[in-house]
Amino acid sequence: MKYHINYEGKNFVHDTLKDGTDFYVKDKAGKEYHFKISSLVAGPGLLSEAIEVKDDVDDQNRYIFRILSEFATEPEVATLKLKAKILRSINRTHMIKMNNEWQISEERNLSGRITSALDEPDTIHKMVLIIDGKRITIEEFARMIEMYEGFDFSFQIVESSEEEKSEDAHEE
């Protein structure tokens, strides 16, 4: 993503895909992913970001990970935390494909990213979900949860850079 920064009257543009460091990693199934990773000072701390590099998709349909560390955190430490977050996420499967449609996996837990879907013909909504690195329309999501009618659910929205804190709290 591009960040426009004004520092002491000078404008800077930070672009993780252009300026980031290459990071290649394989998931437990052996699939290789390519990310660009970078960090920058952002408000109260150090924002570290990883964006999946893909030639065949637009900016919306890719993995994006962020963590916000305390200002005094060494960039190398922040990068290691970000890489750990990437590994956890790419090795987690929230959906399975059955009968040519996505279904929620046995764990019955989803996490991903909400993003815009302006002028896209396969949805009447202005938003889509990115789950497991795949674009899921609101209509597809509705079909995925049909089988759970009558069930209770928990729904939580978190800032992408704060996800690390909430995951750590659940792991303890």
The beta strands (E) that lie in the chain are given as 2-7, 10-15, 21-26, 32-42, 45-52, 64-70, 95-98, 101-104, 112-116, 127-131, 134-137
What mean pLDDT is predicted for residues 133-151? 91
pLDDT at 11: 61
Share above pLDDT 90 across residues of the chain, in percent, rounded to a whole number: 29
| Tally of structural domains, the chain | 1
3-state secondary structure of 124: coil
- Is the model's pLDDT at 5 over the cut of 80? no
pTM of the model: 0.74
- The DSSP annotation for 139-158 comes to HHHHHHHGGGTT--------
The structure tokens listed for 48 are: 């570290």
What pLDDT shows up at residue 122? 81
10 Å CB burial of residue 90 (0-12, 13-18, 19+) is buried
Per-residue pLDDT tens over the stretch 14-64: 788 888 999 999 999 899 999 999 988 877 788 899 999 987 655 567 888
Q: List, in order, residues 6 or more apart from 162 with CB less than 8 Å away.
A: 68
Structural domain for 139, as ranges: 2-171
**CA torsion, ordered 97, 101, 105, 109, to nearest 10 deg:** 140
The Cα 51–Cα 120 span in angstroms is: 23
Highest mean pLDDT among 34-43, 121-130, 136-145: 136-145
Ranges 40-49, 74-83, 100-109, 135-144: which has the least confidence: 40-49
Separation of alpha carbons 77 and 83, rounded Å: 10
